[in-house]
Amino acid sequence: MNLQFTRRIQFAAAVAIAAIAVSGGASLAGAQTQPPGPPIALVHPEGPAAPPAVLTLQDALDRAKQYDSQFLAAVADADLAREDRVQAKAGLLPAISASVQYLGNSPNGVNPNGRFVSLDGVKMYRAWGVARQELSPNVLMGTPLHRAQALEAAAQARREVASRGLLVTVTRSYYALVAAQRKYAAAQQAALQASRFLDVTQRQQALGQVARSDAVKAELQYQQQQQAYRDALLAMDNARLALAVLVSPALDENFTVVDDLAAAPPLPPFTDVRTMAEQNNPDLRAASESLRAAGHDVQAAWNAFWPNVVIDAVYGIEANEFALHSKIAAQPELGVLPNLGYFVTVNLTVPAWDWGSLRSKLHQSQTRERQAQVILTQAQRQLLSNLYSMYNEALAARASADGLQRAAELAVESLRLTNLRYEAGESTALEVVDAQNTAVQARNAVDEANQRYRIAVAELQTLTGRF
């Protein structure tokens, strides 16, 4: 497992070094180009012995949607809301059921109907098909269905909110690993340069060309860069573990990520971004649908003050024999008669007195509606505030990345020239060390700026959707 992880580290470092070289961070002429192994041996979770999977940002997001508990909870809530809507729709339609009963009456030896006057024989059979329909204001207006539809739409919007929030989380972890790999490669290059500079100063000191202080300064720089190299390895490993938590159910680190840090999408004009936010913001949609559901709650509370009609229609048999035709036990002289028939019960319920409970429920629903209205208006204000803030953050991050890229190129060129001047005896060891540190800092600053821009775009897309 350690050998496999070492090879993966070397592969990632080589890819990152190539990316730095393309962006203007190539190593000095004559410097060592073969990266050494990791400076320390870290422990890692056990994983399958297989080639590492290559993950893009979309791949990581797709995997995270399968394992993230918060996102799956939002998905479950949306599924439950959909079933609530199905049940609410079914509640508006007639309920049909079947019933088969046997009623045994205690005989008294004289009356053929038995002791219980509600029955017309010692034995009675029922086989009914029952249809029940409620005709209340809520049913006629479809209030429960409309409320369930609003709640389903709100749950779907909250699911989209969770999806976009997960995109920010994955983007943050994904590009944290990419940036950590780039910093690891930069630290590796800096360690190689410090090693080369130490070798040059030691050889020149042996020839009497430089003072002992130059060799001491070069060795001190070498030790500092070695420590930075070890820290970069640890940071990269921690970033890989953080991403593995999101994309793997078993904390499998056997993957590599595509380094597209510098290929971020362009930022659209603010007018387009604002239009997308107004039309496709799930937070606003969730608040709006919650307000609509609260309005239906108020309507349902008002409807409770009106009369309610329930119709029960029964078709089947209720006879002394389990048959379509039979004799009536109490009147056998009538002969065999048909048993199939129907009867309808219409029940009208008028609210008369409830000690104020219906009015209390109405006041509760009205309070919830006012609260939902407050939440909606605040969500609208918060959207505008976040839109300006996140767009300006993306603008600043993009400008910073562009400016720092030029600074990194200049720092690399300055390091190259300073080394040439030192070898020619025209600069000091302090200038070389300062140039080396400046080059590393400039490279890392570019990576951090690009990472900041990627995260800023992902956060902005929580308001607008993908662009």
Q: What one-letter code names the amino acid at 189? A: Q
Cα–Cα distance for residue pair 50/127, rounded to 1 Å = 67
Instruction: Please enumerate, as own/partner, the contacts of 10-13 that have beta carbons within 8 Å and a separation of 24 or more.
Output: 10/35, 10/37, 11/52, 11/256, 12/181, 12/184, 12/236, 12/256, 13/181, 13/184, 13/185, 13/188
H-type alpha helices, 280-356: 282-303
- Whose tokens are 């070069």? That residue is 218
Q: Is the pLDDT of residue 4 over 60?
A: no
Select from 360, 352, 213, 372 the least CA-distant residue to 292: 372
pLDDT digits (tens, 9 = 90+) for 247-294: 999 888 889 999 999 888 899 999 999 999 999 999 999 999 999 999
Any idea where the domains of the chain sit in the sequence? 2-79+148-289+370-464, 94-139+307-350
CATH number assigned to the domain covering 2-79+148-289+370-464: 1.20.1600.10
166-213 tens-digit pLDDT:
999 999 999 999 999 999 999 999 999 899 999 989 988 888 888 888
Is residue 267 classed as helix, strand or coil in its secondary structure?
coil
CB 171 within 8 A of CB 458: yes
* Torsion-angle region of 312 (φ positive above 0: left; ψ -120 to 50: alpha; else: beta): beta
Topology match between the domains 2-79+148-289+370-464 and 94-139+307-350: no
pTM, rounded to two decimals: 0.81
CA distances from 226 to 16, 38, 39, 230, 441 (A): 18, 11, 8, 6, 15
User: Residue holding tokens 């993306």?
Assistant: 394
- Return the pLDDT at 312: 95
- Cβ neighbors of 292 (< 8 A, separation 6 or more) are 146, 150, 153
Assigned CATH class of 94-139+307-350: mainly beta
Torsional sign, CA 385, 387, 390, 393:
negative
Enumerate the β-bridge partners of residue 337. 326
C-alpha span between 374 and 371 (Å, rounded): 5
Write down the number of H helices and E strands in the chain.
10, 8
Angle, alpha carbons 208-209-215 (nearest 5°): 85
**pLDDT tens column, 351-396:** 999 999 999 999 999 999 999 999 999 999 999 999 999 999 999 9
Per-residue pLDDT of 299-313, as tens digits, reads: 999 999 999 999 999
Which run of H or of E encompasses 397? helix 357-423
**If we measure between CA atoms, which residue out of 101, 399, 98, 75 comes closest to residue 264?**
399
In angstroms, the CA 204 to CA 218 distance is 12
